[in-house]
Amino acid sequence: MADDPQRNFRSAYYEKVGFRGVEEKKSLEILLKDNPLDVEKLSTFSQRFPLPSMYRIHVWKVLLGILPPHSDSHSLVTRYRAEQYEDVQAALIAMRFVNASTPPTELCLRMFQLENQQLPRRTELTQPDEEDEHFLAIAKAMEEIVDDPVDCYWLVRCFVNQFNNKFGDSIPHLPKSLEHFLSQEDSRLLAHLKASGCLSALPYSLWFRRCFAGCLPETSLQRVWDKVISGSCKILVFVAMEILLTYKIMLMGMNRPESVANFLTNLPQENTDAIVTKAIDLWHKYCGTPMHSV
């Protein structure tokens, strides 16, 4: 049977907007109509398929616990979340930690610190430390993804808390995981990085602590965060590995650790979607479709 041009057009269109076919869209819509929502099934779907952009933020809210499984209470919980946001912001204004001109990312950080009982004294305020910088980078990226400041704060807060609580013990081991998988995909590149002293200079904090915030454009970053939020931090390893494989020729020509670190910290932005797509394929290749893989 000859190919159906209309069907091919639809397939290409659906893949472009975030899912590979009508069936996947229908499957997700069915899942989102359940009451209560099956969080495990949503997590599995997010790990197996790309989330359509029209549903992404809603799914993130459910997976991060911002919205409860019972969908009939979402509007009430959303109002409570907004009221809590306003109360915390008002408290910070009253304590003169923030004002009308405070950047949204800094406001987000101070709110997070206050709610986690980590807010320093005003007299002890200093430049952001390393953990604060990680938080600010994630907040800045989320601000580009989400228009509403209330949603942005809750997503950042719950994303960072979930990431630290769930994967905190695993993060220090990700560089070794990267080395292990790279040895299987391209041992020559790994040998060069080791011999030149560049392996230890890779931007691990940018990749594994900030989850590529500030490294990948938000359109690509969202697809990586889909996997992290749904239960896997190991996707970060495969994104890092695919970046190394994509720029292998350039990296093989570099022998100075600082040159490698500078290049990888300021990646070209034009082919990041392809990098993420290949990284997800590698993740599935080595990890299957794990429910709660670390």
| Segment 189-248, tens digit of pLDDT | 999 999 999 999 999 999 999 999 999 999 999 999 999 999 999 999 999 999 999 999
Average pLDDT over residues 171-181: 98
pLDDT at 20: 52
User: How far apart, in whole angstroms, are the C-alpha atoms of residue 13 and residue 8?
Assistant: 9
pLDDT at 255: 95
- Of the pLDDT bands very low, low, confident and very high (cuts 50, 70, 90), residue 25 is confident
User: How far apart, in whole angstroms, are the C-alpha atoms of residue 87 and residue 251?
Assistant: 50
Contact criterion met (CB below 8 Å) for 39 and 62: yes
Average pLDDT over residues 149-177: 97
pLDDT at 21: 54
pLDDT at 23: 74
| Residues pairing with 216 in the sheet | 213
Each residue's pLDDT tens digit, 100-146: 999 999 999 999 999 999 998 877 777 889 999 999 999 999 999 99
pLDDT at 270: 87
pTM of the model: 0.89
Place of tokens 């408290």: 91
pLDDT at 13 over 70: no
Work out the mean pLDDT of the chain and round it to a whole number: 90
Each residue's pLDDT tens digit, 65-76: 999 999 999 999
pLDDT at 259: 96
Average pLDDT over residues 150-166: 98
Instruction: Name the percent of the chain lying above pLDDT 90.
Output: 83
Each residue's pLDDT tens digit, 32-45: 999 999 999 999 99
CATH of region 168-294: 1.10.472.80
pLDDT at 123: 73
Average pLDDT over residues 26-35: 92
Q: How is the chain split into domains, by residue range?
A: 7-69, 75-166, 168-294
The dihedral through the CA atoms of 19, 139, 218, 241 has a sign that is negative
Contacts of 285 (CB under 8 A, 6+ apart): none
Contact criterion met (CB below 8 Å) for 290 and 232: yes
CATH of region 7-69: 1.10.10.750
pLDDT at 14 over 50: no
Contact criterion met (CB below 8 Å) for 138 and 210: yes
Topology of domain 75-166, per CATH? Answer: Helicase, Ruva Protein; domain 3 (1.10.8)
Contact criterion met (CB below 8 Å) for 233 and 174: yes
